[in-house]
Every structure is written in C-alpha cells, then in structure tokens.
Amino acid sequence: MSRIGKKPVELPKGVTAEIKGQTIEVKGPKGTRSFTATDEVDLVTEENNVHVKPRGLHKRARQQWGMTRSMIENLTVGVSEGFKKELEIQGVGYRAQMQGKTLKLSLGYSHEVNFETPDGVTITAPKQTEIVVEGIDQQLVGQVAANIREWRQPEPYKGKGIRYKGEYVFRKEGKKK
C-alpha cells in the first residue's frame, strides 16, 4: 500500500479543483494548472479534498497512485503559494542584474551571459550576488534555476560559481610543493 497515495490532498482556502475524466484542473490565486493522470488511478473530490485511488493492485497502478497524489499536491501548492529557488553567486567580479526580461550575468568569461526569462517564471536579482527564481510550476522553476547554475557551477578549490542557497560545496585542498 502506498503511504503517500492513501493521504487525501487538502485544497487550501481559495483553491478549487475540477475533474474531467482523468484530467484535474486546479485554480487558485496565483493561476491555473492541470495534470492528466494515467488510466491506472481514479480521481475523486469530496468536500475540500481530492482522493486518488488505484484501479488495481498490480505494480504499475501502485506506482502511479503515489506519484499522482504528489503531482496533485504540487499543483495545489503552486497555485496557492508558488515555488521559489534562491541562488547565490560567489567569486571576485561575479555578479547578476536584471535588465527587462533578461538576466545579465558577469561570470569571469570574456563576455556577459544573457539569460532570457522563460514564460511562467519570474527572475529577480535583489542583490548583485543573489538570484531568485519564482513561479507556479515546480518543475519549470527547478529547471530554470539549474540552467542558470550551469553557466558556472561551484568549483571545489576556491568555491567560486553559482550555487543554491544553503548548498554545501565540498572543498579540496590544492596542490602542495
């Protein structure tokens, strides 16, 4: 039995869910998101809860049971609170700034890196060494943050680069003579 799948998904105040076949559409103050579940699970709404039930007890149905419940919970959190990833920039001369919808990164290359903000995500740079990525789609927010971090990942000798806030970078000792 799925411990995650058994729990009902509570809909916070101001969030509504509408089920049409295998598709669930969740509306909230921050926007609207939808998810199409596989045929191995049933979706049921009761009062302020959404229940996910497997159609059988075979392995694929049990796998989809917990995953579908997690996806629906992420939809409700996204439309009610939103998701946020914070990045830190460390290194001499490394900085970021927003110009319109473009994030300009100075990362020690011979040129500036221009990162265009995709739809569904907002990027802000409150300080020159901080970047905040926000949106209602958890997967998209995480992917955009990973794409920004990819331009200069933290290196193990001096720790320079772009890292997630609170990320631990394992430091190596340099060469000895």
- Residues 105-161 have pLDDT tens digits of 999 999 999 999 999 999 999 999 999 999 999 999 999 999 999 999 999 999 999
Sign of CA dihedral 102, 103, 104, 108: negative
pLDDT for 167 beyond 70: yes
Question: Which pair of structure tokens corresponds to residue 37?
Answer: 């579940």
What CA–CA distance (Å, rounded) separates 9 from 70?
A: 9
What CA–CA distance (Å, rounded) separates 26 from 16?
A: 6
- Residues 66-113 have pLDDT tens digits of 999 999 999 999 999 999 999 999 999 999 999 999 999 999 999 999
What CA–CA distance (Å, rounded) separates 93 from 148?
A: 17
pLDDT for 24 beyond 80: yes
Residue pointed to by tokens 């193990």? 156
pLDDT for 50 beyond 90: yes
- Structural contact between residues 91 and 40, judged by C-beta atoms closer than 8 angstroms: no
pLDDT for 49 beyond 80: yes
pLDDT of residue 175: 86
What CA–CA distance (Å, rounded) separates 1 from 54?
A: 10
- Structural contact between residues 24 and 11, judged by C-beta atoms closer than 8 angstroms: no
User: What residue ranges define each of the domains in the chain, with the CATH number in brackets?
Assistant: 3-80 (3.90.930.12), 83-164 (3.90.930.12)
- The alpha helices in 56-137, defined as continuous H runs, are 59-80
Radius of gyration of the chain from its Cα atoms, rounded to whole angstroms: 21
What single letter denotes the amino acid at residue 86? E
CA torsion, points 114, 120, 126, 129, in degrees to nearest 10?
-50
Dihedral-angle region of residue 2 (phi above 0 means left; psi in -120 to 50 means alpha; beta otherwise): beta
pLDDT for 1 beyond 70: no
